[in-house]
Structure formats: structure tokens, C-alpha cells
């Protein structure tokens, strides 16, 4: 899938990774919140994790890592709105 947005994140167990993401608009009239769809691309920081640089490691993320990813996406969107 082609994602229109991209940012990076330094994940404790994975090192520097790329987040490719899209925003899924919610509808407050129906109680639907804005959400995100993403993929995480491994940056290759560690050799002993069983993945190579450029591999999609999205399915390997823990719930706590997912929270960090959402925080990074929300920061990136704020920065885009602010023109940073």
C-alpha cells in the first residue's frame, strides 16, 4: 500500500525505523474517531533481530510500541500543520 505520509521513530527494541502512514478520518456524528494505518520499516540498527534493513516489521510491534508510533504520528501531523 502507498502511504502519503512518512516520519521516523527510534524504537527501544528496534532502533531507528521509518513510519509510513495514512490518516483515516473519523466522523464525530457517528462516534468514529480519527485513526491511523501504518507500516514500520526496519532501519537495520541491530544485526541480531532476524530482520534486514528495509523489512516491514509492522506485525512485530507490541502494544506499547504501537502507542509510541501513534504519538510520533500525531507529533508529525502537528508539525505539518505548523509548517515545520
pTM for the complete prediction? 0.86
Residue whose C-alpha cell is 507490541 = 62
Give residue 50's region: left, alpha or beta (phi > 0; psi -120 to 50): left
Residue ranges per structural domain of the chain: 5-82
Answer yes or no: is pLDDT of 45 > 80.
Answer: yes
Q: Please name the residue ranges forming H helices in 1-84.
A: 63-82
pLDDT-based confidence at residue 81 (cuts at 50, 70, 90): confident
Amino acid at each position: 500500500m502507498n502511504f502519503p505520509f512518512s516520519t521516523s521513530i527510534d524504537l527501544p527494541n528496534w532502533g531507528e525505523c521509518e513510519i509510513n502512514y495514512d490518516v483515516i478520518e473519523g466522523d464525530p456524528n457517528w462516534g468514529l474517531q480519527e485513526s491511523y494505518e501504518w507500516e514500520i520499516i526496519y532501519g537495520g540498527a541491530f544485526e541480531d533481530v532476524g530482520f534486514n534493513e528495509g523489512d516491514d516489521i509492522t506485525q512485530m510491534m507490541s502494544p506499547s510500541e504501537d502507542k509510541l508510533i501513534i504519538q510520533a504520528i500525531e507529533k508529525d501531523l502537528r508539525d505539518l500543520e505548523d509548517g515545520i
